[in-house]
Amino acid sequence: MKRVNLQYFFYYRYHRSYSGHLWQGRYKSKLILNYPYLLQCGKYIELNPVSVGLTVSPKDYEFSSYRFYAFGQKDDLIDINPYYLELNTDQAARQLNYQDLFVDEIAEKNIKI
């Protein structure tokens, strides 16, 4: 990740005639050691475009996997999460269970699905 960050920094600095710090701190990563934390990370990623005001609903963000998991929209870029498969054996029920994972956060933030 350090190499990726540095390459992007030099690219950005060259093309934008920028000087100074591009990011405030060092890159940090945390290991995801359990299922509940993995679930929270996934929810954060899916709802982040809504939280920052890019879209009104997670299904409206074109770079999200939400439509793939919640509605079955085909996306060849996504490798299916093995935990997603554990939500149910029936595809339609699995999609509903995935949508239910977001109900509390969506209601709390007044997001329209």
User: Does residue 101 register a pLDDT over 90?
Assistant: no
DSSP string, 18-83: --S-SSSS--------SHHHHHHHHHHHHHHHHHTTS-SSGGG-TT-SHHHHHH----TTPPPPHH
Q: What is the arithmetic mean of pLDDT over 61-85? A: 92
Residue 42 — pLDDT band, cuts 50, 70, 90? confident
What confidence score (pLDDT) does residue 27 get? 66
Nearest-angstrom CA–CA distance, 113 and 98: 13
Residue 82 — pLDDT band, cuts 50, 70, 90? confident
What confidence score (pLDDT) does residue 74 get? 93
What confidence score (pLDDT) does residue 65 get? 93
What confidence score (pLDDT) does residue 32 get? 87
Q: What is the arithmetic mean of pLDDT over 44-61? A: 90
What confidence score (pLDDT) does residue 92 get? 95
